[in-house]
């Protein structure tokens, strides 16, 4: 029996030395010292010993138990400090390593231009309003003097949700929404997305942006329209810009005009940018049609107004000589970084 006890001692010592973590150590504690452990099993057989042998074997068993307990405690301390060392190693931070730089973005060229334009208009006392992109046929066409079978509708084919609801083809419906809610004097611009059923190419996109303008008050004349737009265009393109008004037709204005600026690339001589014209068209405008005022319960005998609309993408393309509209939407940083 003594030999068995000594064998247990040396086996326990070896296994304890090899135990690498707390769990392994706990397993050994249960195996050697637990109620069903090896030492207990031997002590249970003590009854078979003679009365002389018993005390010596008992003493040896107790010594071995105390020894194993001591070893367990010592090994547990070793394992703890090993684990701490391992954790410290893993969590080590090298504060001398260079940091990871975050790429800093910036505003999209369309937003840069729009913000500049907004600032010019706000400086002139205009409010900025917005309207829904999913719009009623009534606001997009009907109230703007384009009844159901009006041929001008054909030039603005769009995405219909149903017979009465569509994605707006222009920002002009915001004029009507504004005049319904607000009595003159009115001075607003309304920038936003518009949609047309066009195939994508270098100059067409089913989604683009317009900026609408509307001024309504007593005694507003075409002179106010010309003066205001000239001031704004010069702020946008430079004080030396030359502006011309050309007669045109829009159903919701009468009279109507298109505004060109003299090509700032060739100074009117004709070049690739202005397609040999010497002039570049930048917006449509006119005096608000009396029918449109009446549709909004504003008396055309008392009030008059002017309106204008311009395409944001076109403005930016002209300004930076960009020849493909798709660049605005592809999010290629090599393009966007340049602004």
Residue 284 interacts with ligand DAH (CB under 6 A)? yes
Q: Which two tokens stand for residue 138?
A: 């009534």
Q: How far is the CB of 162 from ligand DAH (least distance, A)?
A: 22
Q: How far is the CB of 210 from ligand DAH (least distance, A)?
A: 6
- Evaluate whether 176 touches 208 at the Cβ level (below 8 Å): no
One residue of 109, 251, 286, 305 binding ligand DAH per CB under 6 A: 286
Binding span for ligand DAH by CB under 6 A among 108-116, 282-290, 292-300, 323-331? 282-290
Within residues 230-269, the interface with ligand DAH by CB under 6 A covers 250, 253
Chain mean position to CA 19? 54
CB closer to ligand DAH out of 65 and 318? 318
Cis check: omega of the bond before 255, within 30 degrees of 0: yes
Q: How far is the CB of 337 from ligand DAH (least distance, A)?
A: 31
One residue of 140, 145, 158, 172 binding ligand DAH per CB under 6 A: 172
CB closer to ligand DAH out of 57 and 129? 129
CB closer to ligand DAH out of 184 and 286? 286
Sketch the per residue contact string, 295 through 324, with ligand DAH: x for CB under 6 A, - otherwise. Answer: ------------xxx---------------
Q: How far is the CB of 178 from ligand DAH (least distance, A)?
A: 12
Nearest to residue 161, comparing CAs of 194, 188, 179, 134?
134
Residues 6+ apart with CB under 8 A from 306: 214, 215, 220, 222, 224, 225, 228, 253, 285, 286, 287, 288
Which residue is closest to ligand DAH by CB? 309
Size of site (CB under 6 A) for ligand DAH = 11
Nearest to residue 6, comparing CAs of 91, 65, 64?
64
Q: Which two tokens stand for residue 213?
A: 């303008």
Nearest to residue 278, comparing CAs of 266, 290, 286?
266
Cα gap 217→186, rounded to integer Å: 7
Positions touching ligand DAH (CB under 6 A) are 170, 172, 212, 250, 253, 284-286, 307-309
């Amino acid at each position: 029996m003594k030999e068995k006890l000594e064998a247990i001692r040396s086996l326990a010592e070896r296994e304890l030395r090899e135990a690498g973590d707390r769990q392994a150590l706990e397993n050994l504690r249960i195996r050697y010292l637990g109620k069903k452990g090896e030492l207990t099993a031997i002590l249970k057989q003590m009854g078979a010993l003679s009365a002389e042998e018993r005390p010596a074997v008992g003493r040896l068993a107790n010594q071995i138990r105390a020894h194993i307990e001591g070893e367990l405690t010592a090994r547990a301390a070793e394992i703890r400090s090993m684990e701490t060392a391992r954790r410290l190693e893993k969590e080590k931070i090298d504060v001398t390593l260079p940091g990871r730089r975050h790429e800093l973005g910036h505003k999209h060229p369309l937003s840069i231009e729009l913000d500049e334009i907004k600032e010019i208009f706000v400086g002139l006392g205009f409010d900025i309003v917005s309207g829904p992109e999913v719009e009623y046929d009534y606001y997009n066409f009907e109230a703007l003097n384009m009844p159901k079978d009006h041929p001008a509708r054909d030039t603005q084919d769009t995405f219909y949700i149903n017979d009465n609801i569509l994605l707006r083809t222009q920002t002009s419906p915001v004029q009507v929404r504004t005049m319904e809610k607000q009595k003159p004097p009115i001075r607003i611009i309304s920038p936003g997305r518009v949609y047309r059923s066009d195939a994508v190419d270098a100059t067409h996109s089913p989604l683009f942006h317009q900026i609408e303008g509307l001024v309504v008050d007593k005694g507003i004349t075409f002179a106010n329209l010309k003066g205001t737009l000239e001031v704004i265009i010069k702020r946008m393109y430079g004080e030396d810009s030359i502006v011309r008004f050309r007669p045109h037709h829009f159903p919701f204005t009468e009279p109507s005009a298109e505004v060109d600026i003299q090509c700032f690339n060739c100074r009117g001589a004709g070049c690739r940018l202005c397609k040999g014209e010497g002039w570049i068209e930048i917006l449509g405008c006119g005096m608000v049609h009396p029918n449109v005022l009446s549709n909004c319960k504003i008396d055309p005998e008392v009030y008059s107004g002017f309106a204008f609309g311009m395409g944001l993408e076109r403005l930016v393309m002209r300004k930076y000589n960009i020849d493909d509209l798709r660049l605005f939407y592809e999010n290629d940083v090599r393009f966007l970084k340049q602004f």
